[in-house]
């Protein structure tokens, strides 16, 4: 695992990712039904599953899910990041790679 590096080495868009992200809670609709958040997430996925009884050989499983992303290590001025130089596909030019590590948790709603 690379050593901690300052956030300042990251590209501007990567710096804006640092923090915790999850399903947005939009409150309730006009019928008082929760919209978004943990109770009724808007994240939606379709998964094909093998099924020999179906003429096409598969069925589609539709489900909502919760997702959480964690882009920091709880330190104020650092994040798990690495800056490295690597040959560009074996060419003569080196490229600077900056990577931001994160944790992702996905679960069925």
Task: For 34-92, write each residue's pLDDT tens digit.
Answer: 998 888 888 888 899 999 999 999 999 998 888 898 887 555 555 566 667 777 877 78
Nearest to 67 by CA among 38, 33, 30, 100: 38
Q: How many CA atoms lie within 13 A of 68 on its CB side?
A: 9
Domain that holds residue 9: 5-108
User: How many whole angstroms separate alpha carbon 97 and alpha carbon 94?
Assistant: 9
Give pTM, 2 decimals: 0.60
Overall domain count for the chain = 1
Query: Higher-confidence residue: 77 or 107?
Result: 107
Q: How many CA atoms lie within 13 A of 30 on its CB side?
A: 0
């Amino acid at each position: 695992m690379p050593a901690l590096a300052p956030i300042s080495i990251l590209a501007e868009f990567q710096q804006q990712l640092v923090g915790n992200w999850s399903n947005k809670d939009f409150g309730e609709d006009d019928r008082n039904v929760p919209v978004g958040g943990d109770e009724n997430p808007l994240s939606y996925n379709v998964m094909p599953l093998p099924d020999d009884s179906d003429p096409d050989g598969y069925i589609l499983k539709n489900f909502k899910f919760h997702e959480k992303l964690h882009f920091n290590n709880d330190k104020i001025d650092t994040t798990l990041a690495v800056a490295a130089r690597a040959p560009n596909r074996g060419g003569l030019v080196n490229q600077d790679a900056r990577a931001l590590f994160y944790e992702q948790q996905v679960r069925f709603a």
